[in-house]
Structure 1
Amino acid sequence: MQFIVIIFTITFVIADYNCPGGKLTDQERSIILCHHNKLRSDLIHGKLRNSDNISMPNGKNMLKLTWSCDLESSAQSWSDHCILGSSEMYTRYGRGENVLALWVISGVEYYEESAVSEAAKVWKAQLRHYYKNNPKNRFISTHDQEKASFFIQMAWGKTHEIGCGVSKCGYDRALVVACHYRPAGNIVGDLIYELGEPCKADKDCTTRKCAVKSGLCIK
């Protein structure tokens, strides 16, 4: 896969995540969170379309993702293995996982910031490429849904924590991006996210609070 430098078009706030020993910068953490939460907000507002060119259904009780330093640590540990694929499920202890390898053209400078942004965009693109219309909005272990599994994990309504790692691999010719999620999504038969309307007030969320601008609920 060729790698290009990404120009960011999403506005985000850089927070202090206080992850001792983490390899990512706070800016990279903010970029990952912003991409994920924007996708989740756009989904429940019906702004995204699937591979059948049908709008995804509006949703409710979609949780806003927050950063987890221990998930960052476990994701970094996996990306450091430089294996171009997912870890065994039994090693994840209930964590979800998305992985992407980005190959670098010789002589082209690359940045971890661009890698984490590109990974989120590639996983989101599975919606348009592979995800068939699914009015019941449940995860079914079909071939097409399996090919969209990274998008589905990004969209899983009950997931509320994320942490990611990036590693240089193959004589610095590749970047491996791994993200871990808690709780894990992609449970066969379960709702990807609840159908309904995005929150406009705290009373609309089954959790503590509504982030009114995004329509996401804060756990």
Structure 2
Amino acid sequence: MRPFIHLVVVIGLCFAELSHAPPSGAMADAPMRTYPTPPDGAVSGHVSDGPSEHGHEKRAVDPMEQAAVNDRAMDGERDFDAIGHLSRNKRQAYCNGRYSQTDRDAILKFHNDMRSKIARGQYLVRGQAKPSAVNMRKLYYSCDLENSAQNVANRCVFAHSDRHGKNTGENIYRFRTPVRVAPNPLPIEGTGLDACKAWEVEFEQFGWPGLLFSEYSLQIGIGHSTQMAWWKTSKIGCGVAQCFDGTRQIILAVCHYRDTGNWFNEDIYKAGPTCSECGDGYRCETSTGLCIN
């Protein structure tokens, strides 16, 4: 039995601790599988400008420059497609984060299952199917991104990281025990999947008003979900740390994404026939409706 926890989510530079009761029907002895409703106002207060492909200005949600990893670091990657199978081998020989391969597989599968449902027009939000996607890319697991996420988690600081650049997105999840309980560190097994579920459920809780990402998307509290669903993102890596704040045991889980999502005034994905516009270097994986390379 896992100890009772308070769930906390981070978006942009603002964060809020959640200590609401579990939703109706949640099991009291499995609190890590429950997802309390985030409060209003958990939004980003910092954006950065960058050149648009169309010659206009576009702004990405930039929590202290999005904890970026320079593209050149990709030369040292080792990427996994699913269930640990290597898809691309480069110089780096291993992931050095704390998640097990089982946790990595669960995180990757959850994201790709969600993206596949979106791509095929089977993703339901409040009972309504979202339109299918012409260009939703399949995610691959990146050791490079895991290592950068692990470095952020190791700080045991509940805030977005301050690494510079704009090519890496970041989702953060924290939960902790009540005051002065659970003297032993909380287990990390399964916390990556817990984090994914907590981020993804924002769509159901707050709605998905449209495919155009805007400041309103942040205001209603769906920024974690939109990063998970961003069409151009193709890599993910996650880290986790067991922390202690002097009175409580804490788990801090961090996922990094490349390319970053949540660009203002851009579509989360393009609606149309499934997998019909994957673009140069990509082809359709018909079994999932996702674009692969």
Q: TM class, shorter-chain normalised?
A: 0.7 to 0.9
- Does structure 2 retain, via aligned residues, the 8 Å contact 1:82–1:167? yes
**Structure 2 Cα separation of the partners of residues 61 and 132 of structure 1:** 19
Q: When the two structures are superposed, what TM-score results if normalisation uses the length of structure 1?
A: 0.83
Q: CA RMSD in A?
A: 2.6
- Residue in 1 that maps onto 2:221: 147
Query: Compared with structure 1, are the counterparts of its residues 25 and 16 closer, same or farther at alpha carbon in structure 2 (3 Å cutoff)?
Result: farther
Runs of 4+ more than 6 Å apart: none
- Residue in 2 that maps onto 1:187: 263
- Residue in 2 that maps onto 1:9: none
- Does structure 1 retain, via aligned residues, the 8 Å contact 2:99–2:240? yes
* Greater helix fraction, Structure 1 or Structure 2: 1
**Structure 2 Cα separation of the partners of residues 154 and 166 of structure 1:** 18
**Structure 2 Cα separation of the partners of residues 141 and 38 of structure 1:** 27
- Residue in 1 that maps onto 2:286: 212
**Structure 2 Cα separation of the partners of residues 218 and 56 of structure 1:** 21
For the pair shown, the structure with the greater C-alpha radius of gyration is 2
- Residue in 2 that maps onto 1:120: 196
| Superposed displacement of residue 204, structure 1 | 5.5
Structure 2 residue 89 is matched with structure 1 residue 19: no
Matches within 5 A, 1:64-75: 64-75=138-149
Q: Deviations over 1:118-141 (max 9, x none)?
A: 00000000111123421xx11111
Q: Deviations over 1:49-93 (max 9, x none)?
A: 335x532221121000001111111111111111223224x6354
Q: When the two structures are superposed, what TM-score results if normalisation uses the length of structure 2?
A: 0.63
Matches within 5 A, 1:1-219: 1=6, 4=31, 13-15=83-85, 18-50=93-125, 53-88=127-162, 91-104=164-177, 106-107=181-182, 110-134=186-210, 137-142=211-216, 147-170=221-244, 173-199=249-275, 205-206=278-279, 207-219=281-293
**Structure 1 Cα separation of the partners of residues 95 and 217 of structure 2:** 40
Unaligned runs of 5+ in 2: 1-5, 8-29, 34-81, 88-92
SS at match of 2:239: strand
Query: Compared with structure 1, are the counterparts of its residues 214 and 109 closer, same or farther at alpha carbon in structure 2 (3 Å cutoff)?
Result: farther
Letter in 2 for 1:101: R
SS at match of 1:91: coil
**Structure 1 Cα separation of the partners of residues 266 and 258 of structure 2:** 16
Of all paired residues, the percent bearing the same amino acid is: 29
Q: Deviations over 1:169-193 (max 9, x none)?
A: 1167111110011110000011101
Unaligned runs of 5+ in 1: 7-11
* Greater strand fraction, Structure 1 or Structure 2: 2
- Residue in 1 that maps onto 2:74: none
